[in-house]
Amino acid sequence: MTLLVVGVSHRTAPVPLLDRVALVDGAAERVSVDLLGSPHVAESMVLSTCNRVEVYAEVSKFHGGVLDVTETLAKATGVSRDELTPHLYVRYEDRAVQHLFEVAAGLDSMVVGEQQILGQVRTALRSAQEQATAGRAINDLAQAALRVGKRVHADTGIDRAGASVVSVALGIADDALPGGLAGARALVVGAGAMSGLAAAHLVRAGVGDIVVANRTFERGAHLATSSGGRAIHLHTVVDELADADILVSCTGSTGLVLTRAEVEAARAGSDRPLVIVDLALPHDTEESVADLPGVTRIDLAQLSERPDAHASERDVDLARAIVAEEVRAHIAAIAAQRVEPIVVSLRSHAERVVEAEIQRLRLRLPGLDEQAVEEVARAMRRTVSLLLHTPTVRMKELAADPDGERYATTLHRLFDLEPEAIESVSGTTAPAIAEGGDASFDDVLGGLE
Number of separate helices (H) and strands (E) present in the chain: 18, 11
20-to-109, 120, 253, 291 alpha-carbon distances in Å? 19, 20, 12, 23
φ/ψ (deg, to 5) at 210: -125, 130
- What lies within 8 Å, CB to CB, of 15 at 6+ separation is 281, 283, 299, 300, 301
Answer for the pair 246, 277: CB distance below 8 angstroms, yes or no: yes
Q: CA-to-CA distance for 369 and 377, rounded, in angstroms?
A: 13
- What lies within 8 Å, CB to CB, of 165 at 6+ separation is 50, 109, 110, 111, 114, 116, 194, 279, 300, 303
Q: State whether residue 183 is helix, strand or coil.
A: coil
Strand order in the sheet with 438-440: 41-49, 52-59, 2-9, 89-92, 438-440
φ/ψ (deg, to 5) at 187: -120, 115
Catalytic residue, from 3, 41, 50, 421: name it. 50
Residue 68 CB neighbour total at 10 angstroms: 24
- Which residues are paired to 231 by β-bridges? 212
With CA atoms as reference, report the closest residue to 302 among 286, 284, 285, 279. Answer: 279
Q: Is 50 a catalytic residue?
A: yes
- Which residues are paired to 256 by β-bridges? none
CA angle 294, 232, 276 (to 5 degrees): 20
Q: CA-to-CA distance for 38 and 183, rounded, in angstroms?
A: 55
Amino acid identity, position 114:
E
State the catalytic residues: 50
